Structure 1
Amino acid sequence: MAATGNHMDDTGAWVRRYHPADDAAVRLVCFPHAGGSATFYRPMSAALSPAVDVLALQYPGRQDRRHTPGIEHLPDLADGVVEALLPWTDRPFAFFGHSMGAIVAFEVALRLRGAGRNGPVRLFASGRRAPSRWREGRVHLLDDAGIIAELRGLSGSDPRILGDEELLPMILPALRADYRAIERYTCEPAARVACPVTVLTGNADPQVDMDDACAWERHTDGGLTLRVFTGGHFFLTDHAAEILRLVRQDLLGTAAARR
């Protein structure tokens, strides 16, 4: 059974549980984007609790884990997440990942399936092209100024942080590690998860076109649902209420069906 109580005391380095919901019928595990941290999902946790027990992942190299080196090989990152999540698989659970987080979530679901363990009941893949749609990325080869410019272009990071010379050295190593991991990632075209996949995408996302989004259908045995929103790569910040309603409805419907 999963641990309860203070999230910093008992869930290990990887998992943050900001609003414990021990009686919830379903869990949602949230996977951050490149350079992102668990706190990105704190508002989602607050909004869905107590109906959904939300876990947010904290990858190495950021915030309270900034002294742990970032992981530059995405399969190794997925392996670490699998080990951390096993105690939390005692009830139905789903995955929500944005950008790089969608791929990490996909790889974790593949590993659970390959090991014959319970996998997610649904994967919400936000702001990311399908796993096999490889595209050369060179952000991890840029200097610090180049990486900062890339982030500004995606509008995904607080401009106050990008302009803070004291904070930048703390976040850049994790960012660079994340970009190395996701830009060197490749996926077998036949790799498939068992669960249904809901793809969320922005209609003006420079990194994901409609073909990229629809190609997720090749990677699931459970069917694809596509939801298109106005906006760019971080469309989800502008459509938070609508996305929360969608996630809540899907998860509570799944939980009711299983009961």
Structure 2
Amino acid sequence: MSEQWFWTRRPRPAASSRVVCLPYAGGAAAAYRAWGDLAPGHVEVCPVELPGRGVRMGEEPYRRLTPLVRALADALEPLLDRPYTLFGHSMGGLLAFELTRLLRRRGRPEPTHLFVSASPAPGRPLEPTVHDATDAELTARLRSFNGTPPEVLDDEELMALALPIIRADFAVLETYEFVAEPPLDIPLTVFGGIYDRAVKPADLAGWRDHATTVRFRMLPVGHFFVDELAPELVRLVTAGVSPVCDPAR
């Protein structure tokens, strides 16, 4: 059933298109809580809730990308009745990319535009790997992203709930094996943070190999900017992107 994957979605029956939003590692659909109010009336925002978080906290999270993307594609099927775009931040960017490729292989409608945000280009090794590290090492990795409040990282009870989900998401990322396919024949826009210490411009440049039309836009932020820049991101995602900035040039 798709309802559990999109339980925070607020249907707009008259909307002419949808934006499907995929979360970062450890994130939930709540990361896009403001997007529905910010989007124009003709756009329906559909945040994805992955197993293990939100109302799905009692479900086992996925630890591998392939079965997760297959489940996402199945859940998305009822929403393919009108044009849509995909937006994914960090881990969500990789999920959005592989979801698009799977839909293409299945012969299903592809998004009209793919947006990936603070997400390394596929095929780049992720080092160091932390999904099998100790809790202390994993927490230190999260601290280095500078996106989780210190009081949360220092709260043992909160972290005891969060770390299993974060560990599973890192396993999805770190066990992923890229398989080459022809570039996507849809527009791909890549957002990056100029001050992002986790995903640097060089990590983004490889996206140009994965679609026939690729645009880059660098923003004056760090890694976690989905909430911070929600109004601008919603505007760009729903109305197209300009100007263009290529981090490799």
Q: With structure 2 as the length reference, what TM-score do the two structures score?
A: 0.89
Whether 1:90 aligns to 2:81 is yes
Aligned to 2:18: 27
Segment of structure 1 superposing worse, 149-158 or 138-147? 149-158
Query: Matches of 2:164 and 2:14 in 1, distance apart?
Result: 38
Alpha carbons of 1:191 and 1:45: their partners in 2 closer, same or farther (altered >3 Å)?
A: farther
Whether 1:250 aligns to 2:221 is no
- Kept in 2: contact 1:194–1:220 (CA 8 A): yes
- Kept in 1: contact 2:118–2:199 (CA 8 A): yes
Query: Matches of 2:120 and 2:182 in 1, distance apart?
Result: 15
Aligned to 1:53: 44
Sequence identity (%): 37
Determine helix, strand or coil for the equivalent of 1:123.
Answer: strand
CA-to-partner distance for each residue in 1:131-158, whole Å, 9 max, x for gaps? 1223334121221122222222213334
- Kept in 1: contact 2:31–2:226 (CA 8 A): no
Whether 1:241 aligns to 2:231 is yes
| Structure 2: segments with no counterpart, 5+ residues | 242-249
Aligned to 1:196: 187
- Kept in 1: contact 2:86–2:111 (CA 8 A): yes
Greater share of residues in helix: 1
Determine helix, strand or coil for the equivalent of 1:125.
Answer: strand
Return the match for 1:231 from 213, 218, 221. Answer: 221
Query: Matches of 1:99 and 1:62 in 2, distance apart?
Result: 17
Aligned to 1:218: 209
Query: Matches of 2:180 and 2:201 in 1, distance apart?
Result: 18
Query: Matches of 1:103 and 1:191 in 2, distance apart?
Result: 16
- Kept in 1: contact 2:8–2:46 (CA 8 A): yes
What pairs with 1:1-259 in structure 2 (closer than 5 Å)? 11-48=2-39, 50-221=41-212, 223-250=213-240
- Kept in 1: contact 2:24–2:88 (CA 8 A): yes
Query: Matches of 2:180 and 2:222 in 1, distance apart?
Result: 27
Alpha carbons of 1:191 and 1:145: their partners in 2 closer, same or farther (altered >3 Å)?
A: farther
CA-to-partner distance for each residue in 1:84-106, whole Å, 9 max, x for gaps? 00010000000000000000011
Root mean square deviation of aligned Cα: 1.9
- Kept in 2: contact 1:95–1:124 (CA 8 A): yes
Alpha-carbon distance, 1:161 to partner:
3.3
Alpha-carbon distance, 1:11 to partner:
4.2
| Structure 1: segments with no counterpart, 5+ residues | 1-9, 252-259
Q: With structure 1 as the length reference, what TM-score do the two structures score?
A: 0.86
Determine helix, strand or coil for the equivalent of 2:156.
Answer: coil
Query: Matches of 2:157 and 2:199 in 1, distance apart?
Result: 33
Determine helix, strand or coil for the equivalent of 1:194.
Answer: strand
Aligned to 1:6: none
Query: Matches of 2:7 and 2:46 in 1, distance apart?
Result: 6
